Every structure is written in C-alpha cells, then in structure tokens.
Amino acid sequence: MTQAKGAQWTASRDMLVTGLGWFSVGLGLVEFLAPRRVAEPLGMSDRATLVQTYGLREMIAGLGILLSRKPTTWLWARAAGDILDMAALAPRMGSSNRSVQKANNLAALTVAVIGVLDVYSAMKAR
C-alpha cells in the first residue's frame, strides 16, 4: 500500500468512526433523557428503564470513541450493543399491532445497518 492510499484510508476511516461516535452520543442522549418517547412507538412502554440504560451505554461508547486515540474497543462495544438492541426489538417485530411492528422492523433495519458500520470500523481500526 502506498503512503497516499494509507493516508486516504485513515482520513475516511476517521470520518466514519467520528460520525459513529457522535451518532452514539446523540442517540444515547435521546434514549437517556426521553426513554418513554423512544419506547412507546416500539411497544416497549414497560421497558423505559431499559431504554434509558441503553442510552447510557450509547453515550459511554460514543464518548469512548471520540476521546480515544485507538477506538477499536469502543467500536466493538457498540457492535455488542447492537446485538442487545436487536434482542430487545425482536419480540415485538411480529406484533399484531401494525404500527408497533412497522416501528420495530424499521428500528431493527437501522440497527443492522449501523451494526455493519460498527463491525467494519472496528475491524479496520485494529
């Protein structure tokens, strides 16, 4: 790999990693400060405390990514969090309530896409 290609990769990786860090902080703030507003459309009104805990996890991972010189561990933490998010969403993906089902399916798709970006970034950040 030439020096120019390596420098180009570092710049693009850093942009993606930084974006994931800020996304994590923002999502975490929303989940932590307004857990019921996040949980309700997903049919998880009884799980607001869990959503708030997940928000705290997101903020910690995001800050770890943004403040770390080598964010690999924090990116893997985000990827593990994506698995937890999917596990929380899965039971309601087949809900008889169409709006809950649609919200969960959309949330699951979003988590899956972000999860791929998390794993990709963690693998490249080694």
Q: What tens digit of pLDDT does each residue of 78-114 get?
A: 999 999 999 999 998 888 999 999 999 999 999 999 9
The pLDDT, as a whole number, for residue 78 is: 97
Span 2-25, pLDDT tens digits: 455 445 545 555 899 999 999 999
Q: What global pTM score does this model have? A: 0.85
What are the structure tokens assigned to 12, written together?
């693009």
70 alpha-carbon distance from chain centroid: 18
Burial category of 6 from C-beta neighbours within 10 Å (exposed 0-12, middle 13-18, buried 19 and up): exposed
CA nearest to 64, candidates 81, 84, 52: 81
Q: Are 68 and 86 in contact (CB under 8 A)?
A: no
The pLDDT, as a whole number, for residue 12 is: 54
CA nearest to 126, candidates 86, 44, 70: 70
